[in-house]
Every structure is written in structure tokens, then in C-alpha cells.
């Protein structure tokens, strides 16, 4: 059985073999009506069989198997382009044409992945391509299949290189690099945002220093001045170690897809980046997830390992997308978070009535904490609201789309009326807008 697999099961006939065989058949049919022509298809057929045998001997008895290796990072970033590299070496003593198939994880549903390359004898080539996962979890790669043929091109042999491996897909840690320098600035310049002027001054004491021209005379320390016989002033710095909690709603409204990624995964990716920025700003960061029952609760900390803890917890988030229980969320927040904190709630409201069902719980949370609700624009409805209505059906569709889009704006006003901050953003701009709002609140010392 092993011999069969090795010498017969790995053999494939090429298109060239079928073409020349069909030509022979046609010539045999013609020679039936014109017998003097019979020697031509006979000669051609014997030549094809001879060349095919030579090709078979070279592929299965003379040539060496090619060498291939897949190089990936230890983990993939969800929603981003992740680079994968194949190193392929032609170990044969002749120039070879190769068709290379990398067995991709089933989540990508790519059944036509094929790369063709020409490799000289002993040559090594690197083949790079990218994969964009759209859900978290374990991704299993299969083997690398290489179909090799000689210059004759009548037969092709399949080589199977064992390369099975599992690569976990984590929340988008690639965005951490993109926004790495963001925490060192007051505001990001993307999307027309402006640098915010700091209002007032912090009350976190740093040191006492001698007065120099331009210092605020209101900060004069009279006791230190009396001891030193010269004007001394208190120096203050930005308040640090404030508590920031990211709260992720895992309910049914977060299942809506955008660019093949669910709103929940957009919220998870944004939370990872925002937590990194908060830690760089010396704040303590925590995490809460909920749906119909309570999920993860990670206490706010500023330890170096906190970022990795958040990453691991976000990677393991699972949900059935059931109706979210905001009453349970309020009770958990009241019992677990004793200090006034900034709570950033990632959720979604599609209608004003949907907000009003949960508004009492949001108002109760906002009495004790600074609450910011982050929810999403429906970009498809916005596109429908801008179409040119040419038929009666188009008029109905455009009117309904404008109605729902207007309700989103009403939700913002309703939240503001009750003293609750809000961000209405498209999924693709979620991270930028959330970080900008956080930095604005820090600069205004609103936390």
C-alpha cells in the first residue's frame, strides 16, 4: 500500500500530456480514412510513451524531494494582515516547475490557494503572503503540498511536507504598535482632531522649588518661604493612578458584522489598545464583560503584567449573543468598584426605545462614576440614506434609513441630557475616537 501511494498515488498527469494524447487520437481517426498517414500517430504515440517513462523515472527515482518550511509569528492579530512566509528549496538536479499549496486553516475557507514558481537546481525562494483572520481562536494549518514537474512536463509528482501547526488568533495587538507613540501626545491628529488646551491645574503634589518669573503666585508655599528666606512655590504634576474600566457588552446587539468583523471584536480590539494607552499614562486599568450573565471582572491595576492579563482575558471571551442584563451590570459595578472611576462602556443601541429600556441603570452608574458610552453608527444605513430615490421603493428605503440614522443622533442627545458622555462612531474609527476622547478627558482633568 505504501509503495502504491509513493509511486502511483503521487503521480498526476499534466495538461500537456492530455493535449498531445488528444492530438494522437485525432490523427488516428484521420488515418482510418487515409491509411498512409497511420505511421504519424503511431510514431507520435510511441514517442509520448517513451518521454513519459523518462519523465516518470526522473521524478520518482532520480530527483530528490523539495524542502519547504512555513514561518509564522507565534500568534496572529485579529482583523489585521498577518504575514506568512514559505521557504521552498529545489533539491533536484534540474530546473523544476512547482505548484505550491499551503493548507490554510478552515476559518479562511480558501480552497483555491495556489502559487506557481520556477526554481533552478538547488535554488531557494521565499514566498510571502498575508492572512486576515476575522475571529479569535485557534487556527490549524495543514501540510504543504508541492507538485513538481520537469521540462518535459508530461507528468507531475506530489510531495507532502509535514507542516501541521496551530496558531492562536489574539485581539488586535498590531494596533498597539500603531498607537505606541499616541500616549506621549495630548491628542491624535487623525480625522481632524485638534490638540486640546489643558484647563486648570492638577492637585497632585510633586515638589517644592524656588520661585522663578512666570510661576503661578497662587502656589507660593509660605512656610517653606519663611524657612528659606526666599520665595518657594509648590510644583504639581498630572494626576496619576486614576482608575479606568473598560466594560464590554457581549449581548446580541454586538453581533452585527462590519467588514467581516463583529462589533464585539471591534470593541475587544479597541479595549486592548486603549488599555495600553491608559497604562502608559500611569492610570490603573480594569476590565468587565457581561451579557445575560456576568463575565470577566479584572480589578484595575498598574502592574507591568496587567497588559498581558487583559490580552489573555480578551482572547478567551465567548458569548452566545443573548440579551444583556444592565441591572446585573449596575449591581456588579456598585459592589466591586468603590472608587470613582472612568467607565468606558462599549455597547450598541439601534433605537431610542432600546436606550430608554436601559437608561435608568446607566443613570444610576453615572451618579457614582464618570460614564462614557461608546456605540456604533450603522454605516449601511448611512449609505442608503444618501442614495438618489428614483422609485417609490427607493423613497421608502431612504426615508426609513434616515429615520434610524436620526435616532442615533437623538440617543447622543438623550445621554448628554442625563450627564452621560457618549461617542457615536463607525467601527473602523472606533479606536481613534475612543483614545482621543480619553486623552481629552485626561487633559481636562475630568476623571
Are the CB atoms for 427 and 263 separated by under 8 Å? yes
Please enumerate in sequence order all residues whose Cβ is within 8 A of that of 173, keeping only pairs 6 or more positions apart, or say none: 75, 77, 272, 311
- Cα→Cα distances 96→33, 47, 123, Å: 41, 22, 10
For 148, half-sphere exposure in the C-beta direction (CA atoms, 13 angstrom radius) is 29
Give me the helix-helix angle, 352-368 and 392-417, nearest 10°: 20
Cross-strand partners of 158: 147
Please enumerate in sequence order all residues whose Cβ is within 8 A of that of 25, keeping only pairs 6 or more positions apart, or say none: none
Of all residues in the chain, the percent with pLDDT exceeding 70 is 93
Are the CB atoms for 319 and 346 separated by under 8 Å? no
- Cα→Cα distances 67→73, 187, 190, 272, Å: 20, 50, 46, 39
For 105, half-sphere exposure in the C-beta direction (CA atoms, 13 angstrom radius) is 19
Helix (H, G, I), strand (E, B) or coil at 260: coil
Q: For residues 373 and 386, give the distance between their C-alpha atoms in angstroms, rounded to a whole number.
A: 27
* Mean pLDDT rounded to a whole number for the chain: 89
The average pLDDT across 88-109 equals: 94
pLDDT band at residue 259 under the 50/70/90 scheme? confident
Higher local confidence (pLDDT), 445 or 286: 286
Q: What integer pLDDT is reported at residue 193 of this predicted model?
A: 46
Residue 189: is its pLDDT beyond 50? no
pLDDT band at residue 106 under the 50/70/90 scheme? very high
pLDDT tens digits, one per residue of 414-446: 999 999 999 999 999 999 999 999 988 988 877
Residue 159: is its pLDDT beyond 50? yes
Residue 403: is its pLDDT beyond 70? yes
Q: Are strands 144-149 and 137-141 parallel, antiparallel or unpaired?
A: unpaired
Question: Residue 407 corresponds to which cell in the numbers above?
Answer: 435616532
For 272, half-sphere exposure in the C-beta direction (CA atoms, 13 angstrom radius) is 24
Residue 132: is its pLDDT beyond 80? yes
The average pLDDT across 246-265 equals: 94
Higher local confidence (pLDDT), 90 or 380: 90
- Cα→Cα distances 15→120, 152, 202, Å: 22, 12, 77
Q: What integer pLDDT is reported at residue 199 of this predicted model?
A: 45
pLDDT tens digits, one per residue of 82-93: 999 999 999 998
The average pLDDT across 243-271 equals: 94
Q: Where is average pLDDT lowest: 356-365, 389-398, 410-419, 421-430? A: 389-398
Instruction: Using CB atoms within 10 Å of the CB of residue 434, give its burial: 0 to 12 exposed, 13 to 18 middle, 19+ buried.
Output: buried
Residue 187: is its pLDDT beyond 80? no
Q: What DSSP designation does 64 have? A: P
Torsion angle of C-alpha atoms 276, 182, 257, 142, degrees rounded to 10: -70
Amino acid at each position: 500500500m505504501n509503495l502504491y501511494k509513493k509511486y502511483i498515488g503521487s503521480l498526476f498527469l499534466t495538461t500537456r500530456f492530455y493535449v498531445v494524447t488528444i492530438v494522437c487520437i485525432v490523427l488516428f481517426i484521420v488515418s482510418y480514412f487515409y491509411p498512409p498517414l497511420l505511421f504519424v500517430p503511431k510514431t507520435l504515440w510511441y514517442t509520448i510513451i517513451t518521454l513519459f517513462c523518462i519523465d516518470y523515472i526522473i521524478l520518482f527515482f532520480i530527483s530528490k524531494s523539495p524542502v519547504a518550511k512555513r514561518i509564522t509569528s507565534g500568534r496572529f492579530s485579529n482583523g489585521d494582515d498577518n504575514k506568512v512566509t514559505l521557504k521552498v528549496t529545489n533539491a533536484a538536479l534540474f530546473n523544476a516547475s512547482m505548484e505550491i499549496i499551503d493548507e490554510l486553516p478552515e476559518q479562511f475557507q480558501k480552497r483555491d490557494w495556489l502559487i506557481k514558481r520556477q526554481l533552478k537546481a538547488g535554488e531557494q525562494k521565499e514566498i510571502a503572503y498575508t492572512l486576515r483572520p476575522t475571529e479569535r481562536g485557534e487556527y490549524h494549518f495543514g501540510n504543504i503540498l508541492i507538485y513538481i514537474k520537469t521540462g518535459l512536463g508530461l507528468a507531475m509528482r506530489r510531495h507532502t511536507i509535514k507542516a501541521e501547526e496551530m496558531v492562536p488568533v489574539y485581539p488586535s495587538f498590531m494596533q498597539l504598535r500603531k498607537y505606541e507613540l499616541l500616549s506621549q501626545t495630548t491628542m491624535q491628529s487623525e480625522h481632524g482632531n485638534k490638540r486640546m488646551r489643558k484647563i486648570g491645574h492638577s492637585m497632585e503634589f510633586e515638589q517644592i522649588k524656588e520661585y522663578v518669573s512666570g510661576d503661578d503666585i497662587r502656589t507660593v508655599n509660605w512656610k517653606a518661604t519663611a524657612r528659606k528666606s526666599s520665595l518657594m512655590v509648590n510644583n504639581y504634576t498630572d494626576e496619576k493612578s486614576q482608575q479606568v474600566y473598560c466594560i464590554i457588552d457581549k449581548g446580541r446587539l454586538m453581533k452585527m458584522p462590519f467588514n467581516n468583523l463583529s462589533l464585539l471584536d471591534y470593541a475587544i480590539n479597541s479595549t486592548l489598545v486603549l488599555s495600553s494607552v491608559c497604562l502608559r499614562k500611569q492610570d490603573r486599568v480594569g476590565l468587565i464583560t457581561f451579557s445575560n450573565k456576568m463575565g470577566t471582572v479584572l480589578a484595575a491595576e498598574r502592574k507591568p503584567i496587567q497588559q498581558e492579563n487583559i490580552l489573555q482575558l480578551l482572547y478567551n471571551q465567548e458569548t452566545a449573543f443573548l440579551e444583556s442584563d444592565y441591572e446585573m451590570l449596575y449591581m456588579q459595578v456598585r459592589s466591586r468598584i468603590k472608587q470613582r472611576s472612568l467607565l468606558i462602556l462599549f455597547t450598541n443601541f439601534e433605537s431610542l426605545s432600546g436606550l430608554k429600556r436601559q437608561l435608568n441603570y446607566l443613570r444610576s452608574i453615572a451618579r457614582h462614576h464618570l460614564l462614557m458610552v461608546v456605540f456604533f453608527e450603522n454605516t449601511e444605513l448611512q449609505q442608503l440614506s444618501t442614495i438618489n430615490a428614483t422609485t417609490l421603493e427607493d423613497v421608502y428605503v431612504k426615508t426609513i434609513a434616515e429615520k434610524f440614522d436620526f435616532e442615533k443622533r437623538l440617543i447622543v442627545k438623550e445621554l448628554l441630557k442625563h450627564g452621560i458622555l457618549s461617542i457615536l462612531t463607525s467601527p473602523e474609527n472606533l479606536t481613534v475616537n475612543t483614545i482621543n476622547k480619553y486623552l481629552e478627558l485626561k487633559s481636562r482633568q475630568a476623571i
